[in-house]
Every structure is written in structure tokens, then in C-alpha cells.
């Protein structure tokens, strides 16, 4: 139908999350209409990010520098480590701007189904970091899913020897949430973890 | 939050149709995890398509050759020209594989609201093409929208002098469509254009 260049572009765009074959075609046409303004800058941004951005050797965050900007920031509280599953979770916490410590990205969750064991995650480096004198508390911010909580329990066990304090995010009714729409699990957790008003 | 390279990548990805800021972040992370397999090939495909693909001087289709593969195909019926609004419409007809003539891409529709007049579309070149001896029929395949039909009427007027036959796509009940879900306009058109069974 079209030349191999356009076909290949559509195929690659269709592999992005959120784009299917139809929206990839639409995106390709959108790009071809804006060659100078969007298409070439995007090509450049992609290859630049692909070559320059790497994993932070300390926390696993993505950045152009190693250690990353967060680990290297002297204003960050070195006594707090927040453990997250993925870089996306780290970004979410940074957008909220509510945490001033440092992070540790596990790179996923333990999952028997997908064959992901402790050695596939960055748990060993976390235990090593938590053993340092300056670290006082490790906050587990893995997801409130079965896999996320299994991982949190496993990490807690592994951290016991280091004697560091381990906490996890509170579970309960999300701010702005209506009780009517919440699932039984969330309601039960919120009730059990009720606090004096 | 992240380095300028990642921020710029997310900004550019968010300008693709179908992607917003959140899905652009997801796409950027997806790409950064698949640098060799997806990110660099996509960067290359983008710059390759941006430099090699151009408009066909004859019909306005996008292709690496000028005239495009369809215009240059000797097996295509030169006596038929199908007029479409955009390259996406041409692609849709080619995917259906039901038309063996050649195309003419207008590049949009007349629109008083958006200030798009006849000189902004490829109507002049269409009139010139229709004047050639070999062209027998021009099929108007603009959308069944107000702007699409206005454009079709205007193009018909402009083509009168050339004496070429002008037709348009049939309007009616879409194949697989249930009457219950159709709008009044489509039902009225389908009833008026009824045919012997």
C-alpha cells in the first residue's frame, strides 16, 4: 500500500503502549505532515535519550548522570530510602513532591507466575544500601497488589539483619474517593486501620 | 524531575494524536526499557521517513518516489480518478482493495470556519488532470460531512468545463449496521436512495 519506510514506521509506532495499528497510522500521518516541527525533533530526542540516559548505579532511576540527580542531590535526606517497583512510581512520587529522601527502584515485583525471583530484582543492592550507617528508615512503596505486597514482605525479611526501621505506605480510602465505589478489600483495610479523629 | 532529555522526549511524544501527558510518560519508559529493540529503530525509521517520503506531484499521496507507486503503476486504470480528502482516506480505500483507478488527494475540505478556501486545496491540479483525454470519470469520495459535501459540490462545479463524468460514493446504511442505531440523516438518505431488490 505505502512504501516500506512508512510501513516500518507504522509497525514500530504500533508497538508503543496505548497505540494500536489504527492509531499508529494516524500518528504516522500526523508526523509526516509535521516533518520539521515534530518528526525530526522526535527522531533526535529518541536517539539522544537512548544513548545518553542510563540506569543510576545506586538507586536504579533513569538519568543522564550516574549517580542520578536525586542520589547526587545533597539536600536530599540520606537517612530515608523509599522502595518502589518501577521508575514510573518514582516519577509519580516526585510529581507529588511529598518525599525528600532517596529512592530504590526494584525493577518489578516477585512473581511466581512470570518466573521473577529475588535475583531478578535489585533486592541485593537495597540490602547493601540499608546496611550503611546513615540509613535510618526504609519505606516500602510497592503497589497494593498481591505481587506488590508479597515483594514488600520478602524485602522486609531480607532487611531484618540490617536492623533498619521498615515502614510501608498507608492503605485506605483514596482522597476524593466515595465509599460507594470502593471495593470490599479497601473498605476492610480502611476500617481495620482506623485512627482517632 | 528527570533529565532534560527525557522531559523533551515526553513532551514530543505527548504531541502525537492519541497520546496525552500520562501515556507519553508510559511510552517514554517503555522505549527506555527497549533501547536496542525499539527506541533506536524508531528514531532511525522516523528520520528515514522524514527525509525520504514526499508528496506525489501528481496525486498528493505520500511515497518515496514521485510520482508515487500508485500513479506509476501501469496496471492502474488511468481513466478513473478517485478524489479523497486526506492520505488516510486513500490508505483506507487501498486497504479495502476495491478500487483499481488512481487517486487525487485534496489535502482537506473547504471550511469557512477554519478559513480554508479553494486555493488551499489541490483543486486546480485536479481540474488540470481531469482535462486530460484519458480521464473518463472522477469519483468524489470526500466525507459525508457538511464540509466534505460542500467540497464535493464545489469540485463538481469546477469540473463541469472539462466535460468529465462526475460521480460520488453512495450514502446509506453501512454494511453490518442496525437501523435502530442509525441517525435520522442516514435513514432518510438510505430511504430516498432505495434501489429495486
Segments in chain B forming alpha helices (H): 4-13, 21-33, 40-52, 69-72, 87-96, 123-130, 146-159, 184-192
SS3 content of chain B, % helix, strand, coil (to 5): 50, 10, 40
Question: Which among B70, B63, B69, B150 has a CA at the least distance from the CA of B108?
Answer: B150
Question: Would you call B29 an interface residue with chain A, using a CB distance cutoff of 8 Å?
Answer: yes
Reported as a single tens digit per residue, the pLDDT across B77-102 is 999 999 999 999 999 999 999 999 99
Are B63 and B53 in contact by the 8 Å Cβ rule? The answer is yes
Q: Which residues of A touch B38 (CB under 8 A)?
A: 12, 15
Q: What is the rounded CA–CA span in Å between residue A52 and residue A31?
A: 24
Q: Is A107 left (phi over 0), alpha (psi -120 to 50) or beta?
A: left
User: Smallest CA–CA separation between A196 and chain B, in Å?
Assistant: 36
Burial class of B103 by CB neighbour count within 10 A (0 to 12, 13 to 18, 19+): buried
Say whether A62-196 and A4-52 share the same fold: no
Quick: pLDDT tens for A135-177.
999 999 999 899 999 999 999 999 999 889 999 998 888 888 8
Separate counts of helices (H) and strands (E) for chain A: 8, 6
Strand duo A102-105 + B54-55: pairing: unpaired
Burial of A87 (0-12, 13-18, 19+ CB in 10 A): buried
pLDDT digits (tens, 9 = 90+) for B33-61: 999 999 999 999 999 999 999 999 999 99
Q: Which of A13-27, A62-76, A167-181, B67-81 comes out lowest in average pLDDT?
A: A167-181
Q: At what angle do helices B40-52 and A40-52 cross, to 10 degrees?
A: 160
CB proximity A39 to B under 8 Å: yes
* Interchain contact A140–B (C-beta under 8 A): no
Say which residue the cell 502525537 belongs to. B16
Q: How far is B39 from chain A (nearest CA, A)?
A: 6
Rounded distance, CA A127 to CA A156, Å? 10
In angstroms, the CA A120 to CA A89 distance is 18
Q: Which three cell numbers stand for residue A191?
A: 476500617
CATH 1.10.8.420 is the classification of domain B4-52 = yes
- Put simply, whether B10 touches A (Cβ < 8 Å) is no
- pLDDT tens for each residue of B164-195: 999 999 888 888 888 888 888 888 888 888 88
Select from A16, A59, A64 the residue whose CB has the most chain B CBs within 10 Å, as the one to mutate to test that interface.
Answer: A16
CA distance B55 to A32: 10
pTM score of the predicted model:
0.82
Residue range A173-193: average pLDDT? 87
Please, which residues have CB within 8 angstroms of residue B79's CB and are 6 or more apart in sequence?
B101, B134, B135, B136, B137
Residues 93-122 of A with CB under 8 A from B: 94-95
Name the minimum distance, in Å, from the CA of A15 to any CA of chain B.
8
Cell representation of residue B116: 480554508
Among the CATH numbers 3.10.105.10, 3.40.605.10, 3.40.640.10, 3.40.1360.10, which is that of B62-196?
3.40.1360.10
User: What local confidence, expressed as pLDDT, does residue B89 receive?
Assistant: 94
DSSP-assigned letter for residue A39: I
The residue of chain B nearest to residue A87, with distances taken between CA atoms, is B29
What residue segments make up the domains of chain A, in order of their start? 4-52, 62-196
What phi, psi does A112 have (nearest 5°)? -65, -35
CB A76 within 8 A of CB A70: yes
Nearest to B63 by CA among B53, B76, B48, B50: B53
ipTM topping 0.90: no
Given this model, what pLDDT does residue A1 score? 55
From chain B, the residues in CB contact with A9 under 8 A are 42, 45-46, 49
Amino acid at each position: 500500500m505505502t512504501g516500506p519506510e512508512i510501513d516500518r514506521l507504522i509497525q514500530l509506532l504500533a508497538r508503543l503502549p496505548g497505540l494500536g495499528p489504527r492509531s499508529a497510522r494516524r500518528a504516522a500521518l500526523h508526523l509526516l505532515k509535521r516533518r520539521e516541527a515534530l518528526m525530526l525533533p522526535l527522531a533526535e530526542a529518541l536517539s539522544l535519550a537512548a544513548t545518553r540516559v542510563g540506569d543510576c548505579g545506586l538507586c536504579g532511576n533513569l538519568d543522564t548522570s550516574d549517580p542520578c540527580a536525586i542520589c547526587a542531590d545533597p539536600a536530599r535526606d540520606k537517612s530515608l530510602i523509599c522502595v518502589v517497583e518501577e521508575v514510573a512510581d518514582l516519577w509519580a512520587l516526585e510529581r507529588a513532591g511529598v518525599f525528600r529522601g532517596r529512592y530504590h527502584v526494584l525493577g518489578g515485583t516477585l512473581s511466581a507466575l512470570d518466573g521473577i525471583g529475588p535475583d531478578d530484582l535489585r533486592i541485593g543492592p537495597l540490602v547493601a544500601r540499608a546496611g550503611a550507617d546513615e540509613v535510618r528508615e526504609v519505606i516500602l512503596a510497592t503497589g497494593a497488589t498481591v505481587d506488590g505486597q508479597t515483594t514488600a514482605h520478602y524485602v522486609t525479611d531480607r532487611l531484618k539483619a540490617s536492623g533498619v526501621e521498615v515502614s510501608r505506605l498507608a492503605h485506605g480510602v483514596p482522597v476524593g474517593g466515595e465509599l460507594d465505589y470502593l471495593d470490599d478489600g479497601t473498605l476492610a483495610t480502611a476500617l481495620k486501620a482506623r485512627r482517632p479523629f
